[in-house]
Structure 1
Amino acid sequence: MNDLLYKETSLLEEASGCLLCNEAPCTKACPYDLEIDKIIRCFRFDNKAGAINRLKDSLPCKECKDTPCLSACLKGKINTPVPIPDMFAKLSTYEKEGCLEVKLSIDFCGIPCENPFFLSSSVVGSNYEMVAKAFDMGWAGVAFKTIGTFVPEEVSPRFDALKKEALPFVGFKNIEQISDHTLEENLSFIRDLKRDYPTKVFVASIMGQTEEEWTYLAKVVTEAGADIIECNFSCPHMAANGLGSDVGQNPELVTAFTKAVRKGTHLPILAKMTPNIGNMEVPALAAIQAGADGIAAINTIKSIMNVDTDTFVSGPFVKGKTSVGGYSGKAVKPIALRFIHAMKTQEGLTQVPISGMGGIETWRDAFEFMALGCENIQVTTSVMQYGYRIIDDMIEGMKYYLSSHGYKGINEIVGKALAHTIPADELERDSICYPKFDRNQCVGCGRCYVSCYDGGHQALKQDDITRKPIMDGKKCVGCHLCALVCPVGAITQGTRVKKASRPS
């Protein structure tokens, strides 16, 4: 098998097998000072150019006889080490990419941000030490973990993850509430962070139980030095009624509480929307009309998952019981993007700034939110998996993308995808785009045939000798399920023809 032919597939598979160790032993063991862990992370997190450019011009792995990196690789304790020399040999076949100077700085609600990447309101930004570390590593801002006048009693455990085959973290569930620090402790965090990091952006997420509390919280976080206030109208699992998503589903409460916050501050106000609703535009409009300056979306989705086959309890397991929690992670990104699009195409909201979140792990995910109109991005679940260090590839990957596509600043991509999503009844329906099969790339696994026959239109057969697919043009409807399941990328979009001209 030609490694170069399948290098994208094999590189992704090999990079995905890396344990992403802290202070990686492989890097420490390299006698040539290669940033092994960083190179692998770059490729894994969609920053291929960053990975390629970190390889030395004369790849030293070719001269390395003892391969100490493989001996040090902790994955070898499980099965086999990550094939580092082989990976780097494949990476070295790519041309290195240059990067022109591009600007990631962008204004959000009138506040200058050095880049659009913020931590979202959660445990990943809940005290001074954590946020200071994130700021030092390059995050431009934080939406601090929601502040209230009360300290909730938390449960243990309170996290669980949804798995699929070998993927350990498709989705994530939490039943955590707002900050477990007192109000005075949280105000102290704000003061100290703004003193030490005056150019970073501090978004104070607040949640009150009455109009008076919302006004009071807005007043004290403003006095402490916050730059923006985010109203948490959307937490899906607060223990008391009249909080979180109960508010976000009720435009009247959104109106009343937004007005109450406006009484207590001159700062920009974001209304954080709940996805546990059919039309997010309704409460979003109510918030803007009541004095909010922008929207934050989406918060987590109400969920139940992982019912145990022995105990019949779903996760997280709290002394034999559980509750509905908030679902996040990569799996919710399409839902988040749908809500963002709905708001950015709604009259009265098209010019409203939106801070987008929900399933963002890489610069490419962030790009999708910005292309649909977001000027600001918030991240939590990915940080919980991989750490603050993902900011390196978010920043670098975005810079390489912008530079390679001729953009001078990140603001140039905001909203560019909106015009390409139209009502379903306006889509072109008079033609078929047939799949195109690369028979050199095809390995003959038959996945396309199985999916087409059992889940499609029985338009494919598998040749008895070559094992390659054979398409029946009379049956193919151009759904492209075959392309989606192909494990080696051997099926792409081919010729588009009018339905009246379908082959016989």
Structure 2
Amino acid sequence: MNNLVYRDISIMEEAGGCLLCNNPPCTKACPHNLPVDTVIRSLRFENKAGAANRLPQKIPCGTCTSKACMEACLKKKINRPVPIDEMMEETVSYQKVKPENADLSIIFCGVPCENPFFLSSSVVGSNYEMVAKAFEMGWAGVAFKTIGTFVPKEVSPRFDALRKESVPFIGFKNIEQISDHSLLENLGFLKHLKRDYPAKVIIASIMGQTEEEWTYLAKLMTEAGADIIECNFSCPHMAADGLGSDVGQNPELVSAYTRAARKGTHLPILAKMTPNIGNMEIPAVAAVKAGADGIAAINTIKSIMNINLETFSSGPDVEGKTSVGGYSGKAIKPIALRFIHSMKTCDKLKEVPISGMGGIETWRDAAEFLSLGCENIQVTTSVMQYGYRIIEDMIEGMQLYLSIHGLKSVTEIIGKALPKIIPAEELNRDSICYPRFDKSKCIGCGRCYLSCYDGGHQALRQDEETGKPIMNPGKCVGCHLCLAVCPAGAVRQGVRVAKLEEATG
């Protein structure tokens, strides 16, 4: 490391390699009492300013001879320790930002929330002890794990992860069903949470099998002290007997069950939508017409993944068998954002509040959902991987972002990205934006050349001596595949020029 040219790339790679241990030995071993673990965690969750703020202006890492932190690093047992000393020195070079106490509070469906960050309906919010811990750490609310009138029989195992190269957990599959606690137990959890944390927001997620059950469950959740009711029309692996995602694909059932839930409560109702459909607006509109006050989207995507080529079984492997399950994690964020955009640009839904979810790991992910019109966000998979502690950098990262941009409230970014996304036929097709190559950053690896020649328009060649790219503008179409594959950040958007009139005759 120690090269500002590649600082951002190198520091994120190293932060991504940290194990993010619980009770990290590196911090305990540091002879200078630096908050090593929280600095690295902040970097991992894209809170660079927060990481810099945690360190004094001058640190002794460069002259420290003990390297006790790296000797204690548990990753050393796998291959090599995280280069903590270099990471700390690079982090100090980031600009410190004075937080301006930006307001993160929101009003969602008429309910005041201290910040936009909620736990989504899943195992991460499934009993009193778990949710209480999350509330204590700063989460503003929870969509409690879906409650029904029955207790399902779960399978074991029921989780699996998708990996790519050295990156773990880019996608996640589960075949878990609704709450494995009884209706009576769940009602007790909700009552005690509301009693002990009256300022926190409790969304009671419910799933019935008949209209009578939807009414009954909504009534019980209201009496238990819930602030909002969420109708789960979208669980991808509970599709039998009128349950789950098969309901969300059927506007008539969505309408009937929303109307039934409305009979049982005066509280705001969210309809949780399935992405296992081409046009989410159709069932969403049906829900709103039937009495829903808002939409929650997206739930997980039906999936099969990770075939074992020795046994030909798939994960999660239950005695050599599995089933279609729900796919979540960072990889589904683009899909979630597409559905959010479609609903916020639908005339019948554009004023309807949306609670957004699907691939949110950091404050930056959350801000993207808010910028497309969501009014709060829900998180599960990132918590399952890293724990409730991610809320610290979500809150701080969002506040520092707002401070840097001179914004006083998180509500100022809601919907700001919507005008930037237009129909494909309205995009400028009469000009070319050529890539610009920064030769001082280029390391001569030839990745841009390979991708352009084998996957693009053969507009680049590689200098035989330096390895650096030479562009033929006569062949370049401005696709920017080179920018996407460059590992050194040496390519960016360059000049935009009008296309030459094509020769005719």
What does the per-residue CA deviation read over 1:330-354, in whole Å, with 9 as the maximum and x for residues that have no partner?
1100000000000001011110000
Give distance in 2, aligned partners of 1:398 and 1:197.
Answer: 24
Residue identity in the other structure for 1:422: I
Residue identity in the other structure for 1:94: Y
Q: Which residue matches 2:123?
A: 123
Residue identity in the other structure for 1:455: G
**Residues 262-301 of structure 1 mapped to structure 2, 5 A cutoff:** 262-301=262-301
Q: CA deviation at 1:240?
A: 2.6
Comparing 299-308 and 88-97, the one that deviates more = 88-97
Q: Which residue matches 2:27?
A: 27
Give distance in 1, aligned partners of 2:205 and 2:13.
Answer: 39
Q: CA deviation at 1:2?
A: 6.6
Q: Which residue matches 1:178?
A: 178
**Residues 197-276 of structure 1 mapped to structure 2, 5 A cutoff:** 197-238=197-238, 240-276=240-276
Give distance in 1, aligned partners of 2:59 and 2:410.
Answer: 34
What TM-score, normalized by structure 1, do the two folds share?
0.98
Q: CA deviation at 1:56?
A: 1.1
Q: Which residue matches 2:302?
A: 302
What does the per-residue CA deviation read over 1:379-437, in whole Å, with 9 as the maximum and x for residues that have no partner?
00000000000001111110111111111000010001111100000000000000000
Give distance in 1, aligned partners of 2:360 and 2:95.
Answer: 28
What does the per-residue CA deviation read over 1:280-338, in whole Å, with 9 as the maximum and x for residues that have no partner?
00000000000000000000000011111011111111111110000000110000000
Give distance in 1, aligned partners of 2:327 and 2:86.
Answer: 38
SS of residue in 2 equivalent to 1:86: helix
Residue identity in the other structure for 1:453: Y
**Residues 387-466 of structure 1 mapped to structure 2, 5 A cutoff:** 387-466=387-466
SS of residue in 2 equivalent to 1:61: coil
Q: CA deviation at 1:241?
A: 2.8
Q: Which residue matches 1:470?
A: 470
Q: Which residue matches 1:97?
A: 97
Give distance in 2, aligned partners of 1:416 and 1:239.
Answer: 36
Q: Which residue matches 2:327?
A: 327
Displacement over 4 Å in runs of 4+? none
Residue identity in the other structure for 1:77: K
Q: Which runs of 5+ in 2 are unaligned?
A: none
Q: How many residue pairs end up in the alignment?
A: 502
State yes or no: 1:152 paired with 2:152: yes
Q: Which runs of 5+ in 1 are unaligned?
A: none
Give distance in 1, aligned partners of 2:304 and 2:325.
Answer: 7
Give distance in 2, aligned partners of 1:391 and 1:501.
Answer: 54
SS of residue in 1 equivalent to 2:161: strand
SS of residue in 1 equivalent to 2:295: strand
State yes or no: 1:346 paired with 2:349: no
What TM-score, normalized by structure 2, do the two folds share?
0.98
Give distance in 2, aligned partners of 1:457 and 1:2.
Answer: 36
Q: Which residue matches 1:15?
A: 15
Give distance in 1, aligned partners of 2:45 and 2:419.
Answer: 28
Q: Which residue matches 1:494?
A: 494
RMSD, aligned CA: 1.1
Q: CA deviation at 1:157?
A: 0.4
Q: CA deviation at 1:222?
A: 0.4
Residue identity in the other structure for 1:302: K
Q: Which residue matches 1:188?
A: 188
Give distance in 2, aligned partners of 1:289 and 1:95.
Answer: 50
Give distance in 1, aligned partners of 2:170 and 2:308.
Answer: 18
Q: CA deviation at 1:14?
A: 1.0
Give distance in 1, aligned partners of 2:362 and 2:2.
Answer: 29
SS of residue in 1 equivalent to 2:258: helix
State yes or no: 1:40 paired with 2:57: no
Aligned residues of 2:2 and 2:90 also touching (Cα < 8 A): no
Give distance in 2, aligned partners of 1:58 and 1:202.
Answer: 44
What does the per-residue CA deviation read over 1:419-473, in whole Å, with 9 as the maximum and x for residues that have no partner?
1100000000000000000001011011111111111111110000011000010
Q: CA deviation at 1:192?
A: 0.4
What does the per-residue CA deviation read over 1:141-196, in whole Å, with 9 as the maximum and x for residues that have no partner?
00000000000000000011111111111110000000000000000000000010
Give distance in 1, aligned partners of 2:330 and 2:449.
Answer: 28
State yes or no: 1:369 paired with 2:362: no
Give distance in 2, aligned partners of 1:288 and 1:196.
Answer: 32
Give distance in 1, aligned partners of 2:497 and 2:183.
Answer: 64
What does the per-residue CA deviation read over 1:14-44, in whole Å, with 9 as the maximum and x for residues that have no partner?
1111000001000011122211000001111
Give distance in 2, aligned partners of 1:331 and 1:239.
Answer: 24
Give distance in 2, aligned partners of 1:2 and 1:445.
Answer: 21
Residue identity in the other structure for 2:445: C
Aligned residues of 2:239 and 2:246 also touching (Cα < 8 A): no
SS of residue in 1 equivalent to 2:489: coil
Identity %: 74
Q: Which residue matches 2:109?
A: 109
Give distance in 2, aligned partners of 1:501 and 1:5.
Answer: 40
Residue identity in the other structure for 2:490: A
Give distance in 1, aligned partners of 2:9 and 2:242.
Answer: 49
Q: CA deviation at 1:87?
A: 1.0
Give distance in 1, aligned partners of 2:64 and 2:472.
Answer: 51
Q: Which residue matches 2:50?
A: 50
| Distance change (3 Å), C-alpha of 1:97 and 1:501 | farther
Aligned residues of 2:49 and 2:94 also touching (Cα < 8 A): no
Q: CA deviation at 1:247?
A: 0.6
What does the per-residue CA deviation read over 1:225-273, in whole Å, with 9 as the maximum and x for residues that have no partner?
0000000000010163310011100000011100100000000000000
Give distance in 2, aligned partners of 1:327 and 1:488.
Answer: 31
Aligned residues of 2:48 and 2:94 also touching (Cα < 8 A): no
Residue identity in the other structure for 2:207: M
